[in-house]
Amino acid sequence: MYKAVLFDLDGTLIDSADDLGAALNYVLARHNKDVVSADCYRTQASNGTIALLKLGFGEQWHRLSENEQETLKQMFLDFYKQHLWYKSRFYDGITQLITHLDSQQIPWSIVTNKPAHLTEPLVAQIPEFNLCHNIVSGDTLEKAKPHADPLLHSCRLMNVEPHQCIYIGDDERDIIAANSADMKSVAALWGYLNGNAVSSWQFDLSFKTPWLLLNHISSCFNKK
């Protein structure tokens, strides 16, 4: 029986691809480059700023100097930080899942590779996340996912043992981290999946919708 739930953020709790894509296309437009379609940028939405910029600039990216790359990265981040929760949205069923956890006083947390300077202001704009027990960002510790340390750190903050937790994410690194931390690993099949098939991921469970995950969690928690 679980005692706590840990979530990845982008591609699991929220669909932030369109805000990230808007930041990318802003930078591209400012440099007279063709914008990238949603179908394309969604495949890189959970891989960070550099991955998105590489997608947009293609081979030209590698011909840029470090200073030029850093300028583009900062332009992207400046735009994105002003539009963290504009086009982003919850996946259908997530608000009901969070409401259930809160009503049952089940501790839950967010463990993401998104850096804290983006994660914290984003989460602060979302009232549904007010009772999130803790947030572990990609730069909270020395190591990020797929290393187990961020998940273990979140467990310590909740005062629960890793084997009593379930971790849900939409990327193979989430599954690797959960398995390494001795947690129940769950693939969020509604997420980005980085355009990859998940058949090789060694997850314990997978769900096509948050509603199915909610049903599972409802049946597996000891009621207080």
Rounded Cα distance between 78 and 66, Å, is 18
Task: Round to whole Å and give the CA distance between 90 and 111.
Answer: 17
Helix (H, G, I), strand (E, B) or coil at 98: helix
> For residues 161 and 179, what is the distance between their CA atoms, to the nearest angstrom?
14
**Number of H-type helices and E-type strands within the chain:** 10, 8
Beta-carbon contacts of residue 81 (< 8 Å; ≥ 6 apart): 117, 118, 121
Q: Which two tokens stand for residue 99?
A: 């409401």
C-alpha 28/C-alpha 55 separation (Å) is: 11
Neighbours of 181 (CB within 10 A): 24
Helix, strand, or coil (residue 152)? helix
Residue 147 pairs with which residues in a beta bridge?
Answer: none
8 annotated active-site = yes
State the Cα–Cα distance between residues 189 and 187, nearest whole angstrom. Answer: 6
Sheet containing strand 165-169, edge to edge, reads 135-136, 108-111, 4-7, 165-169, 184-188, 205-207
Candidate list 8, 149, 170, 171, residue with the active-site label: 8
Residue positions annotated with a catalytic role: 8
